[in-house]
Amino acid sequence: MLHFYIFSLARLKSLALIGLFAMATGVSNGLSAQSKPATSKGNPDILMGESLKNGPSSATLAGDSKKDSSAVLNGPVILATDTVFSVQEKLMGHTSSTESLAISPDGKWLATGAWDRRILLYSIDTLGMFKLVKTFTGHNGAVTCLTFDAASTLLASGSKDFSLRVVNILDGSLVFQTMDHRDAITAVEFEATGKFVMSASMDGTIRLYDIANPTNNQKPRLYTYGKPVNDLITAPNGKTFFVANNGNNDVESIDFTGKVYQIFAGNHTMPVNCLGLSNNKQMMVTGGNDKSVVIWDIATSKPIRTLLGHTWKVNSVAFTKDDQYLVSTGNDGEIRVWDVNTGACVSVQKNLISTAKEAKFTPNNKLMIVAGKMSAQGATFGAIVYRTPPIWTKAKPAPVKPAPVKSATPARSRK
C-alpha cells in the first residue's frame, strides 16, 4: 500500500510538471507568432489593446492608450501569411521625388504628383496591372496633394506654387484653376456631388470653390483659420471639416464660420501632420511630428490607441476599405502597416524609399501603393506597388443555405 501511494504521488508531480511545461510552451509560442514582425521583446512596434468591436475601454479613454507588447500575452495570433507584402513593380515615370498620390474610388485610376511639377495618371486593370495613360502639366511647383471626386472622373491637385487645378481625367481637359492662396496648398477635398472643391494652405486659409459654375466664385467662400494648415478632411456629417495645423498639437472640427464643434487633443506632443478617416466614419487616424500615430473615436473625441514605431515625423495615414488595417509613412522611409483592432504593427517596409511621403490601399485591398523619394534608383523616380498578403483578399466560402422546409398541409376531413 505504501509503495502504491508513493508511486501515485510521483505520478501526480510528473503530470503537474508536464502541464506547467505545456502551458509555458503555449504562451511562448503564441507570443512568438504574434510578434513575428517585431525584432525584440518590449519593441513598441507591436501595441496591443482592446478590440474596437467592443468600443474603447474606460482605461483607454482615460489616457492609458499606450501599451507595451511585452506586457500583453493573450492577443490574437498573427500568422506569417498576414505579414508578407511583396513588391509587384516600380512605376518610374517621374524625373524627381514623388510627393503625393491618389487612387480613384472605383479603383481604376492612380495619380501621382512630384517635384517635377507633373501629374502622371495610370489606369489599373482587373488584374492589378498599371498603364500610364496621361501626363498633366500646368503646375510650377511640386504637386503636394491629389484627390479624385466620388465619380472617379475629376482630379484635383494642389501645389507649392500656390495653385489649385481640377482636370477631367477622361478627356484631359482643364475644368478649373486658381492661384488665390499665398503659400503652398496642403490639402484638396471634393464635396459629395463633385460640384465644389475645398483647398487648405500653409497661408492659414481654407477656400471653397464652385467648379460647376465658376462665375459664382467672384466672392469666394473663404475662412481665415490663422494657423498654417497641415491637412484637412471632411467630417462624416459632410458639413464640417477636421483641420490639423502647424500651430498646436490638436485637431479641430470647424465650419466656414469658424465655429469649433470638436477638439481632439491631449495625445500628440507635437503638431499633427496628416489625417485619415475610416470608411465606416467612426474613427479618425492622425500622424504627428512626434513620430506617433493615433486612432480616435470620432463620437467621443477620445483616443482609442496610440501606435509607436516611426523614428521621424509621420507623413501620411490611411485605412483599408474594410477598416481592418491602416498604413502610415514616415520621413524615416518606413511604411508601417497596423492591425486596427489590436494595434499590432504587422509589417514594416523600408530600404526602397528614403522618405515615404504617402501610401494608400486600392479599394479591393489587393495592392498598397507608396510615393516618396526612392533610394538607390539613379535618376528614376515614381511609386512602389506592393501586393498585400493573400489572406487579406482570400475568398470566403459562401454560407451554406439550408434546404427550404416544406410546410405540412393539414389533411381535409371527409364529410
Note the pTM of the prediction, 2 decimals: 0.77
Does residue 234 belong to any structural domain of this protein?
yes
Does residue 386 belong to any structural domain of this protein?
no
Does residue 35 belong to any structural domain of this protein?
no
pLDDT recorded at residue 373 = 85
Closest CA to 118 of 89, 133, 140: 140
Look up the CATH number of the domain holding residue 219.
Answer: 2.130.10.10
All cell numbers assigned to 193: 456631388
pLDDT recorded at residue 341 = 92
pLDDT recorded at residue 351 = 83
| 29, containing H or E segment | helix 2-34
Q: Is the CB of residue 200 less than 8 Å from the CB of residue 232? A: yes
> Total structural domains in the chain?
1
Query: How does 30-68 read in b/e, with b if 16+ C-beta sit within 10 Å?
Result: ebeebbbbbeeeebbbbbbbbebeeebeeebeeeebbbe
pLDDT recorded at residue 56 = 38
Does residue 132 belong to any structural domain of this protein?
yes
Does residue 286 belong to any structural domain of this protein?
yes
Q: Is the CB of residue 176 less than 8 Å from the CB of residue 168? A: no
Cα torsion 30, 35, 39, 43: sign: negative
pLDDT recorded at residue 101 = 98
Q: Is the CB of residue 198 less than 8 Å from the CB of residue 241? A: yes
pLDDT recorded at residue 82 = 63
What are the residue ranges in the chain where pLDDT is below 50?
1-76, 407-411, 413-415
Does residue 42 belong to any structural domain of this protein?
no
Does residue 155 belong to any structural domain of this protein?
yes
Distances (CA, A) of 278 to 69, 105, 298, 299, 340: 25, 14, 10, 13, 10
pLDDT recorded at residue 214 = 87
Range of the domain at 311: 96-326
Triad 90, 96, 101: Cα angle to 5°: 60
Q: Is the CB of residue 231 less than 8 Å from the CB of residue 273? A: yes
Does residue 360 belong to any structural domain of this protein?
no
